[in-house]
Amino acid sequence: LQGIGFSINTLIKFNDKLENKNAEEGFQNFIGELANSLTLDNSIDSLIKSKYVFIVGTSGSGKTSFSAKLAAALVQEIKSDNVALCKLGKQNEFLNDNLKSYSRLINVPNVHILPENAQQKIESIEKKLIIDVSIDSEKTLNLLKNFKEKVGANKILTILVVPSGSNKYNLKKLFDIYGSINPILAFTKLDENDISPEELSVVAENNCSIGYLTNTRSILKSINFTNKEILAQYLKDNIIKLCKWELKWQSQ
């Protein structure tokens, strides 16, 4: 497990699942416990209950398409007709905003929000808002802090979008920035890369939950709302194969 990229701290955390086991049983136990620790009981429930859903992350991570996928899931799978897609950013970012096209595709309102009057604008809209955040992290954190104090933390869900295959150091930086607001993770671009053991170790060490898995291409019906069974199956399909290769390589 360490040979394929899991950190020693993560392995120590789940050591009791590995001790005195043969390799196959140890892998299965480790993956089951890791999946259980990295997932929510119900990621759909947290989405339904929140009125304001803030999508944060770096440029190029897939925030905009993920925002559209989330809105599409609410409209088509959860059958909610009270959803709007929003872009929170500077005026010039609205000129080439793909969110407009996605809004037309799934037939939901599209709203532009400028940073200087963001809180007032957001509060004035009655619908459930999926907000693609494109302002800097400091302004984002200040807005979320003030907004939670005003409307209550139970009405706000923050999702940190991370492209699978990210460098572990970049992922650590994201947690340094956004860890204080306890975001739920969404891993994107799973048709291009697998989630690596290094990434999983960073997530485990920061006590964060993975709520959503999605690929790059499709917008409609393309999000897996993650639970421990779904994540465990994903890990079994990818991690155990790596472990077997590592064992074979070590034996040679």
Give me the tens of pLDDT residue by residue for the chain, a chain 252 residues long.
888 899 999 999 888 877 777 777 888 888 899 999 999 877 788 888 899 999 999 988 999 999 999 999 888 877 778 899 999 998 776 666 788 889 998 999 999 999 989 999 999 999 999 999 999 999 999 999 999 999 999 999 999 999 998 989 999 999 999 999 999 999 999 888 889 999 999 999 999 999 999 987 777 666 788 888 989 898 888 887 777 777 777 766
* Helices and strands per DSSP (H, E), number in the chain: 10, 8
Residue 120 tokens read as: 């007032």
Secondary structure class of 180 (helix, strand, coil): helix
Question: What was the pLDDT predicted at 94?
Answer: 67
Question: What was the pLDDT predicted at 252?
Answer: 65
Residue linked to tokens 């907000």: 131
Question: What was the pLDDT predicted at 54?
Answer: 97
Instruction: Note the pTM of the prediction, 2 decimals.
Output: 0.91
Q: What are phi and psi of 209, to 5 degrees?
A: -110, 140
| CA separation for the pair 198, 195 (Å, rounded) | 8
Question: What was the pLDDT predicted at 29?
Answer: 87
CA of residue 234 relative to chain centroid, distance: 15
Residues 6+ apart with CB under 8 A from 231: 35, 38, 39, 210, 213
Residues 6+ apart with CB under 8 A from 139: 115
Using an 8 Å Cβ cutoff, are 205 and 168 in contact? no
Let me know the angle formed at the C-alpha of 81 by 111 and 161, rounded to the nearest 5 degrees. 55
